[in-house]
Amino acid sequence: MTYLNTKAVKAMTYDAIVIGSGISGGWSAKELCDRGLKTLVLERGRDVNHITDYPTASKAPWEFEYRGSVPLEKKKDFQFARFMREETMHWSITDDEQPIVQEKPFRWVRGYHTGGKSLLWARQTQRWSDFDFEGPDRDGFAVDWPIRYKDIAPWYSHVEKFAGVAGNNDGLDVLPDGEHMPGFEMSCIETHLKESMKQHYKDRHLIQARCAHLTDPQQIHLDQGRTQCQNQKMCNRGCIYGGYFSSNASTLPWAKKTGKMTLRPHSVVHSLIYDEKKGRATGVIVIDAITRQQLEFHAKVIFVNGSAMNSAAILLNSTSNRFQNGLGNDSGMMGKFISWHNYRGKLSARYEGFKDKKTSGGNPSNAYIPRFRNVYKQEMDFLRGYATGIGGGRGLATDTKGIGNSLKDHLLNPKLGDWYISSWMMGECVPREENHIRLHKELKDKYGIPQLVFSCDWDSNDDKMVKDYLEQMTEMFTLAGFVDINGSDSHSAPGSDIHEMGGVRMGKDPRTSLLNEWNQLHLCKNVFVTDGACMTSTSTQNPSLTYMALSARAANYAADELKKKNL
């Protein structure tokens, strides 16, 4: 006879488990705890406490041994070492933490610590519109979203009020207005481009981008322990003021205050446990990253928020007699239709005016041109469109003329240079079935988990979009009187700008999608996926605000369903 240690099982049992503590995981945990559910949050990496664990926050350049540069010896074991700076290297992972197989080049940036990439994101928070949700249905590429703007609009408002979003209400149908506190001021060079675009175009608008920074903190933000953004522009180091939204400064402390949350770091999720008699998932198998011990945690509902690629990988690795190809994967769609944003196009220029003006202080956001291609009809030889980021300023000019004392004087007393302006595209990549990830049949990582194989690439639609962006931005810069206009295609690898999406997409039909309109697995109703893996298409807007809204919406639905005993 087998004796079950019921006390031990009870200690490992919760109402809900959330896998991942980043933007979507933090929101899932916050909402579930607010609804009174005893919730376990599993974080793969180390614990990071708000304020006390930001070692480089607010440090001046001279406080770093090499002014922020990292010696080659320290770089050798780290992922993407060429991008490392001492200010942020504490967020990097070593190459042996999670090796991957790149069947085609893919740059996969990860954040393995409490808060995940919510400590590293660009904090851009533009809402989606029906033009974005209807895109796949209109042009027939990818499957139709099971939701529309009206379904998620109240949840956009819900998360915006709590997170704090600065920006203006611009009255644009392609970019719905939201719950905004005052936006940051544009520089004179950005305002100049805005006025030029007003003069020459009816369908193109330059606005101040909406961003998750507190410019006018409300009581709800003070209750979180946060205060006004100080415009330091050191956000990726971690903000001791909580001036920008992160899980660490906002949702996780809020969840902790309820007394319902347990956060467990160093917990590498292996797979989900499926009970074939009950027809639902009953728990999660975890490998302790320190001891390598295998543990099991149990819950009535499970939120998979490990970031897009890891969420798909966890579900693919969750096999059983019922689901031999991954949990809920009867359709064979899991891991397919991976997509991302196209940042390949970049443009810069100079302006010889405004000699009486200079920049003062910092602006943690940027200006923004919402999508204007293929909005109301298919007008181009490529599908979907692109948004454009705009930034400008005035720096110091280095004068190396002369020798001796005159050269020294020039270097020690630099003069203001010309105004510059830069732009970068964010194009919508259309999901394709051949762009996929899968589990390697033999290779495993140090935790005994199959390595991920990436097989993703650009196509002609992306190339055409870059070409149009460069042509149109060159035209807009020329009309505004800019000089030395220089555009380029970086030809960077897919995934280079951390907006990877898809793999466990939402849809109406279980034969062509994995999740329903509530982010539930079609075939396992107590498992929800609300991070980037759930995305059916990518839009042109930054995706994090949509992850937040979907997570809050799904968590409250799950709490309701639990109360009704439907899960």
pTM to 2 decimals?
0.95
Confidence of residue 11 (pLDDT cuts 50, 70, 90): confident
Token pair listed for 234: 């050191």
Condensed to tens digits (0 to 9), the pLDDT of residues 272-291 reads: 999 999 999 999 999 999 99
Token pair listed for 140: 């027939």
The pLDDT value recorded for residue 7 is: 64
Q: Please say whether the beta carbons of 550 and 325 come within 8 A.
A: no
Residue recorded with tokens 């966890």: 314
CA 426/CA 305 separation, integer angstroms: 24
Domain count, the chain: 1
Residue 247 lies in a domain: no
The Cα-based distances of 553 to 86, 147, 178, 230, 367 in angstroms read 38, 12, 17, 31, 29
Average the pLDDT over 317-332 and give the result: 97
Alpha helix stretches (DSSP H) within 50-95: 72-75
* Angle in degrees, CA 180, 252, 57, rounded to 5: 80
The pLDDT value recorded for residue 82 is: 62
Beta-carbon contacts of residue 8 (< 8 Å; ≥ 6 apart): none
- HSE (CB half, 13 Å, CA atoms) of 451? 17
Confidence of residue 81 (pLDDT cuts 50, 70, 90): low
Residue 253 lies in a domain: no
* Chain centroid to CA 463: 23
Say how many Å lie between the first and final Cα of the chain, rounded. 31
Residue 167 lies in a domain: no
Beta-carbon contacts of residue 182 (< 8 Å; ≥ 6 apart): 166, 215, 216
Average the pLDDT over 457-483 and give the result: 97
Confidence of residue 85 (pLDDT cuts 50, 70, 90): confident
Burial 515-529 (b: 16+ CB within 10 A, else e): bbbbbbbbbbbbbbb
Condensed to tens digits (0 to 9), the pLDDT of residues 110-134 reads: 999 999 999 999 999 999 999 999 9
Confidence of residue 65 (pLDDT cuts 50, 70, 90): confident
The pLDDT value recorded for residue 94 is: 87
The Cα-based distances of 487 to 160, 375, 471 in angstroms read 35, 25, 9
The Cα-based distances of 507 to 328, 547, 551 in angstroms read 14, 16, 16
Condensed to tens digits (0 to 9), the pLDDT of residues 487-506 reads: 999 999 998 877 999 999 99
Picking from 318, 316, 298, the residue whose alpha carbon sits closest to that of residue 308 is 316
Long-range contacts of range 470-473, CB-CB < 8 Å, 24 or more positions apart?
Answer: 470/345, 470/347, 473/345, 473/347, 473/388, 473/423, 473/425
Residue 62 lies in a domain: yes
Q: How many C-beta atoms lie closer than 10 Å to residue 432's C-beta?
A: 18
Residue 112 lies in a domain: no
Residue 6 lies in a domain: no
For residue 524, give the amino acid letter: C
Token pair listed for 492: 């960077």
- Residue 77's domain comprises 56-89
Alpha helix stretches (DSSP H) within 95-187: 130-133, 135-139, 149-163
Q: Please say whether the beta carbons of 175 and 127 come within 8 A.
A: yes
CA 56/CA 70 separation, integer angstroms: 14
Residue 74 lies in a domain: yes
Condensed to tens digits (0 to 9), the pLDDT of residues 239-277 reads: 999 999 999 999 999 999 999 999 999 999 999 999 999
The pLDDT value recorded for residue 31 is: 98
CA 551/CA 307 separation, integer angstroms: 13
The pLDDT value recorded for residue 174 is: 96
CA 269/CA 295 separation, integer angstroms: 10
Confidence of residue 220 (pLDDT cuts 50, 70, 90): very high
* Angle in degrees, CA 539, 545, 549, rounded to 5: 105
Residue 84 lies in a domain: yes
